[in-house]
């Protein structure tokens, strides 16, 4: 939970920092009209903040990281549904960010595995 709050807090801070940058773009591109100024401001914001968001949601430095995918076969029971996999933990004892064959588990099997790992 602490990891989620760190990521969420950084994301909210990033969101607030984007406001003056996008406002400056709107001011600068105002002669093009509101529509085009808004489009260009969003393109510039996307180019800049993609990398910040990528860091926030994929860095190992902020703690536990999960990956979620839709319509995958569970590695334990074979059910095809939303799958979860633990990529890395705050303690660093699980680092599978570049795993060539990731194993996703359904919600029930993921819960079972978490309880086994905690013991």
Given a cut of 70, is residue 61 above it in pLDDT?
no
Output the six-digit token pair for 46: 């996307």
Q: How far apart are CA 5 and CA 24, in angstroms?
A: 30
Do 10 and 56 form a contact (C-beta atoms < 8 A)? Answer: yes
> Angle, to 10 degrees, between the axis of helix 34-58 and the axis of helix 2-28?
160
pLDDT at position 115 is: 64
Q: Could you report the per-residue pLDDT of 17-49, keeping only the tens digit for each?
A: 889 988 999 999 999 999 999 999 999 999 999
Q: DSSP label at 105? A: B
Stretch 96-105: mean pLDDT, rounded?
77
Q: By three-state DSSP, how is residue 65 classified? A: strand
Q: Give me the pLDDT at residue 96, please.
A: 66
Question: Domains of the chain: which residue ranges?
Answer: 2-58, 65-118
User: Alpha-carbon torsion 119, 74, 55, 45, what sign?
Assistant: negative
């Amino acid at each position: 939970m602490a990891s989620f709050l760190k990521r969420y807090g950084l994301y909210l801070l990033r969101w607030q920092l984007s406001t003056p940058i996008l406002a400056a773009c709107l001011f600068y591109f105002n002669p093009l009209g509101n529509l085009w100024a808004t489009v260009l401001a969003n393109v510039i914001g996307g180019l800049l903040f993609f990398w910040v968001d990528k860091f926030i949601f994929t860095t190992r430095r902020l703690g536990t990281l999960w990956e979620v995918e839709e319509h995958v076969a569970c590695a334990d029971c074979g059910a095809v549904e939303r799958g979860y996999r633990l990529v890395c933990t705050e303690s660093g004892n699980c680092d599978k960010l570049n795993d060539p064959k990731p194993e996703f588990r359904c919600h029930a099997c993921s819960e079972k595995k978490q309880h086994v790992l905690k013991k």
